[in-house]
Amino acid sequence: MDDDAAISIRGLVKRYGERPAVDGLDLDIRRGEIFALLGPNGAGKTTTVEICEGHRDRDGGEVRVLGVDPAVGGRAWKAGIGIVLQSGAGDSALSCLELLGAQAAYYADPRDPAEVLELVGLGDKAGARGRTLSGGQRRRLDVALGIVGRPAMLFLDEPTTGFDPEARRRFWELIRSLRDLGTTILLTTHYLDEAEALADRVGVITRGRLVEVAVPAELGGRGRAPAVVRWSEDGRRRSADTATPTAFVLDLAARLGGEVPELSVARPTLEDVYLTMIAEPAAEEVPA
């Protein structure tokens, strides 16, 4: 186990009946990083995260979150953890400020509720009841509730589902600012652009096992993958794979005598490599 890590997991196993949902998972999350857990539906992400939160028991393996086994984490440990679930307290009849005040009262050193509302972009909604908020505003209220206790470790489960594009960008800024304040963040998301924009490292989980951990730019050998150069020549679209796109484009420009029409240079996106990673094991399992 890595005692300096915010989260350290070795050989985690969780079964529902005979079927393992988590099947020998190892993972270390460093203090102060944003880590995104990616994987298809049913891969075991929520199960893993809920075990880390102390909300689910396990059948095997070792887990430490902020140095403590979540299965026996007491009040002080719980105060260090912030959780933003997929559906939160948005239905409440209390106002946003009342909700946050009630939540803050559980903690020894909470953030100021009014400041937290400003931070999540709900400063003008202090007096509004939870149930009058839009879907995206409710998610931001959920985040406000998750961070008012000043957690060292924040769990975010698909936080931007239902956000409009501008709200997502603003939310990403918020998450980065929390990281800059020293918060460790474990995020699950199905949005690959979100993982790319936010995560210091990503982990891909399929069938209850971690297949790879990498910085987003390196996942699945992405950093070493050939680039695809596309352009137009003699009225036709052309393309070429190349490991040296700069030299290729210089040659092309020289040959075409200047600006290359409709030029683009692309590397595989995070989504491209992710889809390849999760597709391969499935193909092997197809019965002969």
- Residue ranges in contact with ligand ATP by CB under 6 A: 16, 21, 39, 41-47
Residue 66: CB minimum distance to ligand ATP, A: 22
Tokens representing residue 151 in the block: 């957690």
Question: CB-wise, 12 or 147, nearer to ligand ATP?
Answer: 12
C-beta of 22 vs 174, nearer to ligand ATP: 22
Distance CA 158, CA 185 (A): 12
In the complex with ligand ATP, which residue's Cβ is closer, 27 or 116? 27
CA-based radius of gyration for the chain: 22
User: What's the closest the beta carbon of residue 80 comes to ligand ATP, in angstroms?
Assistant: 23
CB of 252 to ligand ATP, least distance (A): 43
The dihedral through the CA atoms of 199, 201, 205, 208 has a sign that is negative
For ligand ATP, which is the closer residue by CB, 125 or 209?
A: 209
Residue 25 DSSP symbol: E
Q: From the CB of 39, what's the least distance to ligand ATP, in Å?
A: 5
User: Residue 230: helix, strand or coil by DSSP?
Assistant: strand
Alpha-carbon gap, residue 270 to 217, rounded angstroms? 7
Q: Nearer to ligand ATP by C-beta: 18 or 284?
A: 18
Residue number, 46 or 103, with CB nearest to ligand ATP? 46
Least separation in angstroms between CB 19 and ligand ATP: 7
Rounded CA-CA distance 89/130 in Å is 7
Task: Please give the Cα distance from 105 to 111 (Å, whole number).
Answer: 10
Q: Quick one: which of 191, 203, 217 has its CA closest to 52? A: 203
What phi and psi, each to the nearest 5 degrees, are found at residue 118? -60, -45
Question: Shortest distance, CB of residue 228 to ligand ATP, whole angstroms?
Answer: 30
Which residue's CB is nearer to ligand ATP, number 55 or number 169? 55
Q: Are 252 and 229 in contact (CB under 8 A)?
A: yes
In whole angstroms, what is the distance from residue 233 CA to residue 45 CA? 47
Task: Work out how close the CB of 242 gets to ligand ATP at its nearest, in angstroms, rounded to a whole number.
Answer: 36
Instruction: Give the whole-angstrom CA distance, residue 95 versus residue 141.
Output: 11
